[in-house]
Structure 1
Amino acid sequence: MNYTTQMDAARKGIITKEMKIVAEKEGLDVIILQQKLAEGKIVIPANKNHKSLSPEGVGEGLRTKINVNLGISKDCCDVDKELKKAKAALDFNVEAIMDLSSYGKTEEFRTKLVDMSPAMIGTVPIYDAVGFYDKELKDITAEEFLEVARKHAENGVDFMTIHAGINRKTAEVFKRNKRLNHIVSRGGSLLYAWMELNNRENPFFEYYDQLLDICEKYDVTLSLGDACRPGSINDSTDASQIKELIVLGELTKRAWERNVQVMIEGPGHMAINEIAANMVIEKKLCHGAPFYVLGPIVTDIAPGYDHITSAIGGAIAASNGADFLCYVTPAEHLRLPDLEDMKEGIIATKIAAHAADIAKNVPGSKKWDYEMSKARQKLDWEKMFSLAIDPEKARKYRKESLPEHEDSCTMCGKMCSMRNMNKVMEGKNINILREDD
């Protein structure tokens, strides 16, 4: 039996090889996975032209996935340097990489990335449009925007961020409800500007059916972008954000009618006490579609530390239903991240995702922590290093300050609770001031 997309296959009762791989990775019954794919509650972004892909599932009941952003820009257009960052990200076993390239040899970088990456690849076609056509934003036609999306799909990208929810009606809500930070989404601001400059409807909204044609042909998952995501905690959960979310819910149903897989993108900057409610609102308004969040960043005062502000929000968001976390690095709001920034962002986001999986009782999520706790009780340093989320840093810290006694560290020495409780539980004496018997 033939099928067009993973959703189409699931609805026809077909178990694809991608479904089998994801089910095995997740320790999930493939029939349950198939049912949730058919309902749109899980997606498997897997472009038919991405031959090196090791598919992953995103959605209800699955491990929280993380994404890394990279790509070339006018100020930093070194393709080889970005490919080196991509290789490093893959070495950290990230599930997704988004190519946010906006200048120069974008197709060269994109095709090399797709060819080398077992992780799913995402893009934002509107970022590429100005450089692709060498035209000012105002002069790009609606057809040309769609053609860039088609090119990305042909190149093998697995999901595309499309800001189709910032239509004329959403824009009117934005104008009537003033914000401190306006529209902070790069793609959203470009589309809003195009609409204002041309007095036209958003081309991705007006020609949404043609966009769905492209996605259906290549099985590209639509990541419906949050043009009106809040860029400060002052603007969160406002009329613009909610209006756009309502539109995205309607667009989700239209995509599902064509068997096109959908994720919804979300905030943004947001105070901690609003995060859980926002997860519920998205799942309600967007019919259970997987939720992909940037952060949320829980305070605006920490440039240089936004991997931390984001990890706090990400852990809360994912434990309350978000399915996919976009990493944030210490360089957020400041510059293009370098390799060390990227590593810091990946580790922080992985911690947030894993903490959320524990809270969500994702099968097997607590086993890692259990094994680490066993190794700590045994003071098995090598085992602790092998289980650490960043073994290199753990080894470095230990090596920099070695204790007199191997069964302790320089924080506690012979007062180490683990060491002493092991001795007491074994009926042995504890000598803190003298050598052991």
Structure 2
Amino acid sequence: MKDRTLLSLATSEIRTDKTLSGQETPLILNHRAKQALLFTEVQPLDVTELLAYLVRQSEPFLDQIGVRKDVCDKIVGGLCRKHKNQFLLPSLSSGKSTLLDENANDELDLRIASVLQSTGHCYDGGFWTDLSKHHPSDGKRHVAIVTTASLPWMTGTAVNPLFRAAYLAKSERQNVTLLVPWLCKSEQELVYPNNLTFTSPEEQENYIRNWLEERVGFKADFKISFYPGKFSKERRSIIPAGDTSQFVPSKDADIAILEEPEHLNWYHHGKRWTDKFNHVVGVVHTNYLEYIKREKNGALQAFLVKHINNLVTRAYCHKVLRLSAATQDLPKSVICNVHGVNPKFLKIGEKVAAERELGQQAFSKGAYFLGKMVWAKGYKELIDLLAKHKNELDGFKLDVFGNGEDANEVQNTVKRLDLNLNFLKGRDHADDSLHGFHKS
């Protein structure tokens, strides 16, 4: 509609020019007239509009200094309302001006778009945008799963991403790469249980694949790559050493799943994930703020880490999935448990249901608590509650399964308080010895 209106105006200008000059140059004059009308119709952004755009683009920074998004929206809305009578869209009707939508952000977007269009500007990305991003030629996407731990460390961020890689690869609709940390031997001794160590990444990869095949019952066709990691005793976590993204070739940089995106990017100083990959999804497993609050000056540390987590997840992820509401509320996040259920657990449930139908007692062993034996996993809260209600829980017995750095302290505390807890070595949730328990 806009082109038709401009064309008629341009034709009018051509006729006028032809009458005055008598020269037959309709095509040249039509183009020039059209361009002239485009430039005169769309006014450049004024100071108020530029301020509104600056505020909106500065939302991530303002959020870090405590200015909430709703406050930013109000500022943008107020600035836009001052010039609302100038926000017209001639293109929406022929000869009539129409006010933009009431939404201030939409008004600003359309205003900026109209100015850019009038200048003929075409935006292809920033100075640092990778214009050679992955474009699948074989019809398959490529998924890179990057995590912060690896077997034989039996922790959630080692096990769940491994299962995710296996089942994504099983569908054969995408190529899958799993990136896990490689530790030097001295740090392997600190992290891996039962004195397990590996002399090469190939040796550890064989261990991982054998463990996985035993549990899923099929051979998963996906690639395992290692990046250099460093174990932090203070954080009891493995920290990436260097630019982890470089271990995925550019030709395979399509979709990235960052398991614990905040953890992976605390010290990230390489290429921005969202520049290298077409789409980046963060999966949040852990509420690190609760861990940090237990440390010296915990409140201050937690405050700083909260804002660092907000900053890195906003910068490096297109979308963030939180496994539960117990995790930190991060930018671009939704709560969604994407782990699914291991088929082995479903079979256990079917077996228990069949036993109940036959009149057998399904859960005869009472309750158990399973978790790495470190205070931060809830042992302090468990012991405090059992001590508080000791008289009410006379005769109650709880089996505790777990290994960890705080095992001696936990067990000594329980002994001192004379609580009825039976400590056993850690094991898999699907272990046969656990089937008769009520899970605690």
TM-score range, shorter chain: under 0.3
Structure with bigger strand share is: 2
From the CA coordinates, give the structure whose radius of gyration is larger.
2
Higher relative contact order (CA 8 A, sep 6+): 1
